[in-house]
Amino acid sequence: MTNYVSGKVTLQSDFFCGTNPIDLIEEYGSPLYVYNEKILRSRCRELRSLLKYPRFQVQFSAKANSNLTLLQIVREEGLKVDAMSPGEIYIQMKAGFSPEDIFYVCNNVSADEMKFAVERGITVSVDSVSQLELFGKVNPGGKVAVRFNPGVGAGHNEKVVTAGKRTKFGVDPELINEIKDVLNKYDLKVVGINQHIGSLFMEGKPYLDSVKALLDIAGQFSSLEFIDMGGGFGVPYHKQQGEERLDLEALGIELDKVIAEWVQGYGREITIKVEPGRYVVAESGIILGTVHTVKNNYGKKYIGTDIGFNVLARPVMYNSHHDIEVYRKSDAKSAVNEPVTVVGNICESGDIIAKERLLPEIFEEDIIGILDCGAYGCVMSSNYNSRLRPAEILIRKCGEVQVIRRRDTLEDLVRNF
Ligand code: LLP
């Protein structure tokens, strides 16, 4: 019988519904990405009810997770998608999204990459005067969206703050006249304006402020069909410490007010979108891995696992925290909680999942679960050290398990040589 060594996390307790981590690892190999369909669907539904405004749309930012099966579920739930590359567009169309459901929010792309979207009838957002010129050449007389930088940013790490005065993204509103000149030059029609201030806010205020700034800019374009307020909705990564959820309801009420007022001034209802990635998928994914080593090095206890930063890059890249659970097949009891450093199997000292984390005593062959890894987990994995990227499996509603991406094979490593 599986012994759940750390039973502290209530929110994820029925995550494995009908299965258990030990059996899953035995059957599908370690490490392993596990998703829960029910959680994914419920997050989609929460977001769809964010606003009461009738022409409201949720657009999933698929860079957070572009697994084909998960995209299909998101589509079934009535969400649209944004794409960052021709590759994302390609997968999204395979998942059944129609061109009207896809918004290409690109950055510094080539003419060919723009054509890829234009030829498929997908709306493109440009985020510089320079890229607008390129779009004009690729698609004169066409429809386009412009991404503005409202001058307000937010995010959990400076690497993911995508607006404000210190980032490469968006058009500075001061350049609006230059934008208008290029629009005229190529007879382009602005159908949308959009922004994305950054990733992971837990308080609604910066988002709300940025929306107000965007709406001011929007008032300067009479031909709009939509405004896209961006993503960034945070999830509580510190659930074991009781971190509160983002108050979506309160944010929704404030947004509804601001939007209703703006629409009245604008004179007609247009589509209003949000563009979340993390909020949709983060909590529906867990990484399972195996403890191969327990050692003391100069007074520090290390737990050596097979979850290197090729499997999960977030802790190394952003110093991100992920809660950890421990599962055990044997009857061995963890007597105490102790500070340990949980590491992977990559040949770099920075290959650390959690530093000096207080966890129940861990033994070799224990299975650990890294929680809230559904967003920016598998999509950021790599074959560094010629390691195989893990399989992804999905726990369906009824407890049945489906492989939704097979584990790499050794042949995959040499396929393109
Ligand atoms: N829209 C645009 C234009 C974006 O650039 C992003 C994320 C999103 C929407 C979705 O943001 P979200 O709702 O997921 O916060 N790898 C980092 C996050 C990078 C986010 C990049 N842009 C991480 O693991 O925290």
Contact criterion met (CB below 8 Å) for 403 and 393? yes
Structural tokens at position 72: 């299909």
Angle of CA points 227, 229, 230, to nearest 5°: 130
Q: Which of 347, 373, 378, 398 is catalytic?
A: 347
Closest listed residue to residue 147, CA positions, set 134, 166, 162, 165: 162
Structural tokens at position 3: 């012994």
27 C-alpha to center of ligand 1: Å?
33
CB within 8 Å of 70: residues ≥ 6 apart: 35, 40, 281, 284, 394, 404
Same domain, 159 and 270: yes
Q: How many CB atoms lie within 10 A of CB 171?
A: 22
- Note the pLDDT tens digit of each residue in 79-125: 999 999 999 999 999 999 999 999 999 999 999 999 999 999 999 99
- Domain termination residue (choose one: 276, 301, 327): 276
Q: What is the pLDDT of residue 1?
A: 41
Cβ(390) – ligand 1 distance below 6 Å: no
Structural tokens at position 4: 């759940």
In a domain, 79, yes or no: no
In a domain, 396, yes or no: yes
Report the DSSP beta bridge partners of residue 274.
Answer: 58
Same domain, 131 and 270: yes
Closest listed residue to residue 247, CA positions, set 235, 257, 237, 258: 235
160 C-alpha to center of ligand 1: Å?
7
Contact criterion met (CB below 8 Å) for 229 and 256? no
In a domain, 22, yes or no: yes
Same domain, 268 and 313: no
Nearest CA to ligand 1 atom 3: 196
Range of the domain at 239: 106-276
Q: What's the CATH number where 230 sits? A: 3.20.20.10
Task: Provide the sign of the torsion angle of the four alpha carbons 98, 82, 90, 30, taken in this order.
Answer: negative
CB within 8 Å of 181: residues ≥ 6 apart: none
Cβ(262) – ligand 1 distance below 6 Å: no
For residues 405 and 389, what is the distance between their CA atoms, to the nearest angstrom? Answer: 10
What's the burial of 299, exposed, middle or buried (CB within 10 Å: 0-12/13-18/19+)? exposed
Closest listed residue to residue 292, CA positions, set 244, 216, 343: 343
Residue for token pair 């991404």:
147
In a domain, 44, yes or no: no
Q: What's the CATH number where 16 sits? A: 2.40.37.10
Same domain, 304 and 383: yes
For residues 370 and 326, what is the distance between their CA atoms, to the nearest angstrom? Answer: 9
- Those residues of the chain that have pLDDT short of 70 are 1-13
Same domain, 123 and 271: yes
Same domain, 312 and 378: yes
Same domain, 272 and 297: no
Residue 11 has φ and ψ, to the nearest 5°, of: -60, -35
Same domain, 188 and 240: yes
Cβ(278) – ligand 1 distance below 6 Å: yes
Strand 226-228 versus strand 189-194 pairing type: parallel
In a domain, 270, yes or no: yes
In a domain, 395, yes or no: yes
- Domain termination residue (choose one: 276, 307, 332): 276
Known catalytic membership, residue 398:
no
Q: How far is CA 279 from CA 205, 227, 238, 374, in A?
A: 17, 20, 15, 10
Report the DSSP beta bridge partners of residue 126.
Answer: 146
Residue for token pair 């100069």:
298
Same domain, 353 and 270: no
Same domain, 226 and 314: no
Number of domains in the chain: 2
Cβ(322) – ligand 1 distance below 6 Å: no
What type of residue is 28? Y
Structural tokens at position 106: 């690109």
- 230-255 in b/e form (b: 16+ CB < 10 A) is bbbbbbbbebbeeeeebebeebbeeb
- Domain termination residue (choose one: 224, 253, 276): 276
Same domain, 136 and 251: yes
> What is the DSSP-derived secondary structure letter of residue 74?
H
Ligand 1 pocket test, candidate residues 196, 237, 248, 318, most atoms within 8 A of CB: 196
Helices (H), 221-310: 248-266, 278-281
Which atom belonging to ligand 1 lies closest to the Cα atom of 156? Answer: 25
- Note the pLDDT tens digit of each residue in 331-359: 888 888 999 999 999 999 999 999 999 99
In a domain, 55, yes or no: no
Strands of 77-218 (E only): list them. 80-83, 102-105, 123-126, 143-147, 189-194
In a domain, 82, yes or no: no
Same domain, 321 and 212: no
